[in-house]
Amino acid sequence: MPQIILENGPEQAVMGAVVGGLTAYNASQSNGDTPNYLVVSLRDDDGTVLGGLIGATYLGWLQVQAVWVSDALRGSGSGSGTALMRAAEEEAVRRGCPRVFLETLSFQALPFYEKLGYRVHSSLPDFPPGGCRYALTKQLG
């Protein structure tokens, strides 16, 4: 009989088995399509990472999973965040994905994404408590 085990911490082997199993199942249902990961980094002259974007193109969409810009650049008018988003969007179009999906929390970057043309698709109030989680989409090109 299978056992349910509450893991004490993130074990790479267990996480890999879960993600690998789900990826294989999803591929069997989507003509073999699997996520094609995308990383865009922002670096200084020494190669230090000052920001970046992590996402994946999959099933006709770019799903942005994480965007970060260092405190020194965030909100400075440098255009760093915009440049990261544009680079990812251009690559998504090149990969045949004309739509973008991302999520942000109320204390993060909702006005920034809206300024770039993203529209709130749905919201989840009180996530985090007293705030809101937003799902946004954008049609590219």
| 38-65 pLDDT tens trace | 999 999 999 999 999 999 999 999 999 9
Torsion, CA 82, CA 106, CA 128, CA 9, rounded to 10: 10
> Quick one: pLDDT at residue 8?
87
Average pLDDT over residues 82-98: 98
133 neighbors 103 (Cβ within 8 angstroms): yes
Q: What is the pLDDT confidence band of residue 9, given thresholds at 50, 70 and 90?
A: confident
Percent of the chain at pLDDT above 90?
Answer: 88
* pLDDT for position 76: 81
How far does CA 76 lie from the centroid of its chain? 23
Select 35-139's CATH number: 3.90.850.10, 3.20.20.140, 3.40.640.10, 3.40.630.30: 3.40.630.30
What is the percentage of the chain residues whose pLDDT exceeds 70?
100
List strands edge to edge, sheet with 61-69. 36-43, 49-58, 61-69, 99-105, 132-139, 119-125
Task: Reply yes or no on whether the pLDDT at 78 is more than 90.
Answer: no
The conformation of residue 46, written as its DSSP 8-state character, comes to T
Question: Domain-by-domain residue ranges, the chain?
Answer: 35-139
Q: Please say if the pLDDT value at position 35 is more than 90.
A: yes
pTM listed for this prediction:
0.89
Round to whole Å and give the CA distance between 38 and 4: 34
